[in-house]
Structure 1
């Protein structure tokens, strides 16, 4: 296994050893790009003159379609690049070997030593010729249920790959398909959970917190936000405009929360529930900084909406701090990972009061005490809150 690179393929280290390593010794490696880079180095040691290789996989992340893993001779690790959803509309993809594979080709092979005018015109071939590469091959990498990804190899060896090299690489593909599918599906599972329940909850679920009723008590700053008059907007605007308005609003509200260490737990129609655990340093201050940034983002969004003739969006935010039960709640077969408890109810009541008291952001006295004197807060007064016996002292934040 420690043979030097560029040895003859008849020596003890062979493609079979690379296959064995892929199937038996990569169990503890989570990241596909690291596996792919080391695989290429091991192929060189097995006598396969690979000098460039790439793996193109589709993940279906909310923001990007997939990833490209690129390795070249001399690199200790492969390089991972995200691929946007609009890639298939770009000329560099339309005019590429990868598109040929996705269109159904079983193999794309190009002799890079011959006159370029005699071969295909893909731009990537010119790039490889400029780097001294002589031969290129691309194959589909088959995952279950007909999913097709793409793997490519190139060499600078005079004469290109010979038949034994190609046979060795083909021998490798089934093992690479199995290993890559496991990592792709692991990443997909994480992506789906992070997308629909948040990063912290997803880690807990993947660690085994899937039993109904399981959970923990968390001391947290809690924020609930809701749009005003959205029923009227949704009744009077086309569906696609309504969805676009909602997405813009949620972007404006959510991104500052995440930047400041918070977690979006739930979107409820046009409402949002978020927390920042007090285990985070300066959690309460961070939440108010996020609220200030969200308000600025909403001003910018409303200016943009006004320029396009769309309705301006008004909203209310309720903020409280307290203990919440954080865990699995629901039916036997359909669970929600969320927070419940009197502290959540209080934040919800404060958000409802923003309309009655003509304030955009209302804070409880408990939160105002917790955040300290860093922020300029307006004392609004004491008001009865539905579901709570005593009036609650409220503060407004105009950040």
Structure 2
């Protein structure tokens, strides 16, 4: 019996990679790990793979997509985020990705030939400089015609031969299925993190979707509201109002996230955030977030002043107590939020900032949990709508 030919070995090796993609990746959550191992297995199957990339489009508020890159010798792939404005930059214009997303079904480039005879793009020059000899890119089709991109490169003299290309083509349909599942899982997490927050998103993915279910959480509650927004929205152009709100929410939200708070919702020009007390230094972290947010608002107002916009004013109410954290809503539309008297109190304190003339008001219950490093100003007892007894309040300057 004669020994199997090299192309037969490559054929059987690629079959083994397809079988692994189909049956051996069920417990692997992340596509970058699967992609790196797939490339290593393709090498072991006799394909002279030196570099490979997977480009996926994602629905994310900050990023258009991501590039996953593997190179020879890497055990893990490298992930790079891609900005929304990439399509206007030279790195994209005329690139294989540009050709692919314009409808090409294959981009193949012989990197050994005279560069003057080939495609013109910096990417090909970079690959030649690294000693690569051949490059091939194909679309990766997901459901409903969504196109992504996968590329393979080699440094083998003469490039990929027909058996190598056939073996690589063979893995594409299964890689498309495996990647779509992981990309959509990541998309689900991203959308939930974007719209309900990271912690609530994890709970929902874990099955907390039944109406009326929830847990009692002891937390510091922060409610913030922009002043005179109705007047602004009536008098400013629509796009300016949207930009203003985004800048305002950036100033308020980023410090909250940085210090461990969770923003549960934006309510028009307001926001609701909690700092669960089971986390260390929750109350101190809330005040640190408020102090940084106030600094960010000062900087924002300076920028607005330079464009002749009026300064933005706001009020923040802070309380602490037990809240019900879970699903509230109708049979077909739920909101994952917190409710309870403690939330109502924080809302009432935010409203009192207008009357008292202090932009940040804290309840005594919250103030008693704050360490001496923070200077609080006692502003006396005040009647709070909906509560029978006056509440002692404190102001925080930050």
Match for residue 187 of structure 2?
188
Match for residue 288 of structure 1?
287
SS of the equivalent of 2:168 reads: helix
> Given that residues 220 and 277 in structure 2 are in contact (C-alpha distance below 8 angstroms), is that contact kept between their aligned partners in structure 1?
yes
Query: How many equivalent residue pairs?
Result: 393
- 1:1-399 residue pairs with structure 2 within 5 A? 10=9, 14-399=13-398
> Given that residues 263 and 272 in structure 2 are in contact (C-alpha distance below 8 angstroms), is that contact kept between their aligned partners in structure 1?
yes
CA distance, structure 2, for counterparts of residue 63 and residue 311 of structure 1:
28
Cα displacement string for residues 288-335 of structure 1 (whole angstroms, at most 9, x for unaligned residues): 010000000000000001101222110000000000000000000000
1:88 Cα offset (Å): 0.6
Unmatched tracts of structure 2, length 5 or more: 1-5
Cα displacement string for residues 37-72 of structure 1 (whole angstroms, at most 9, x for unaligned residues): 110000001111111100000112101111000111
CA distance, structure 1, for counterparts of residue 314 and residue 28 of structure 2:
46
Cα displacement string for residues 108-142 of structure 1 (whole angstroms, at most 9, x for unaligned residues): 00111111111111211111111111110000000
1:373 Cα offset (Å): 2.1
Give the direction of change, closer, same or farther, for the CA distance of 1:12–1:160 in structure 2 (3 Å limit).
Answer: closer
Structure 1-normalised TM-score? 0.97
CA distance, structure 2, for counterparts of residue 271 and residue 75 of structure 1:
47
1:372 Cα offset (Å): 3.2
CA distance, structure 1, for counterparts of residue 165 and residue 66 of structure 2:
25
> Given that residues 11 and 163 in structure 2 are in contact (C-alpha distance below 8 angstroms), is that contact kept between their aligned partners in structure 1?
no
CA distance, structure 2, for counterparts of residue 377 and residue 365 of structure 1:
10
CA distance, structure 2, for counterparts of residue 292 and residue 395 of structure 1:
15
CA distance, structure 1, for counterparts of residue 10 and residue 106 of structure 2:
29
CA distance, structure 2, for counterparts of residue 209 and residue 247 of structure 1:
30
Match for residue 3 of structure 2?
none
Which stretches of structure 1, 4 residues or longer, exceed 3 Å deviation after superposition?
none
| Aligned-residue RMSD, C-alpha | 1.1
CA distance, structure 2, for counterparts of residue 232 and residue 244 of structure 1:
16
Unmatched tracts of structure 1, length 5 or more: 1-6
CA distance, structure 1, for counterparts of residue 202 and residue 262 of structure 2:
12
1:8 Cα offset (Å): 7.4
SS of the equivalent of 1:319 reads: strand
1:374 Cα offset (Å): 2.3
SS of the equivalent of 1:10 reads: helix
1:28 Cα offset (Å): 1.1
